[in-house]
Amino acid sequence: MTSDADPTEPVLVRATPQTTAVIRDQVPVTQLADFFDRSFQRIVEVVGEQGVGVAGPALARYHGPPTDVADLEVGFPTSAPIIDAGNVVAGSLPGGQVARLVHQGSYDQLDASWGRLQGWIHEQGITPDHALWEVYVTEPSPEMDPNDLRTELNWLVAP
């Protein structure tokens, strides 16, 4: 079944809780790319060593809006909980009502899409929660056009 809905327009969806394997840190925004690269590589190693499956694309969950420093966890959804291994720990994404839109384009334009989603949430009279996360639907590669990137923005809202 196909949908005529434009994924780049905000919508409300029902999310189910999801187990994750993540690394959490407070990282200067100027060092996020290196943090993501190192973290994703290490997480894939740990998940593979434990025989747990990666159950979807990479993600980042933010614990508050980033300023000069982002308090975040990066990782992957998993088919089962992992056993903590050093800085790679079991985590989760919350279930519930989520305001969502798909950002099309480079990562350096994500702030504008988050602002658009936040504005839509307020226009709808919905109360945003503290939980917000990105799902990197398109895996980046050095040779790709950044305009081809798709990032799903998710913001938990009060029911």
72-104 pLDDT tens trace: 999 999 999 999 999 999 999 999 999 999 999
Task: Report pLDDT for 66.
Answer: 80
* Strand 59-63 with 18-28, pairing: unpaired
Beta bridge partners of 132: 62, 155
Strand order in the sheet with 150-157: 11-15, 96-104, 150-157, 128-136, 59-63, 69-77, 18-28, 89-93
Average pLDDT over residues 131-136: 96
Residue 5 confidence (pLDDT) above 80: no
> Residue 137: CA atoms inside 13 Å, Cβ hemisphere, count?
16
Residue 130: phi and psi, rounded to 5, are -85, -15
Task: Report pLDDT for 138.
Answer: 94
Residue 129 confidence (pLDDT) above 50: yes
Superfamily, domain 11-157: Regulatory factor, effector binding domain (3.20.80.10)
What's this model's pTM, rounded to 2 decimal places? 0.92
Which pLDDT band holds residue 2 (cuts at 50, 70, 90)?
very low
Measured distance CA(113)–CA(94) in Å, rounded: 21
Sequence ranges of the domains in the chain:
11-157
What would the pLDDT profile of 21-47 be if each residue is shown by its tens digit? 999 999 999 999 999 999 999 999 999
Residue 12 confidence (pLDDT) above 50: yes
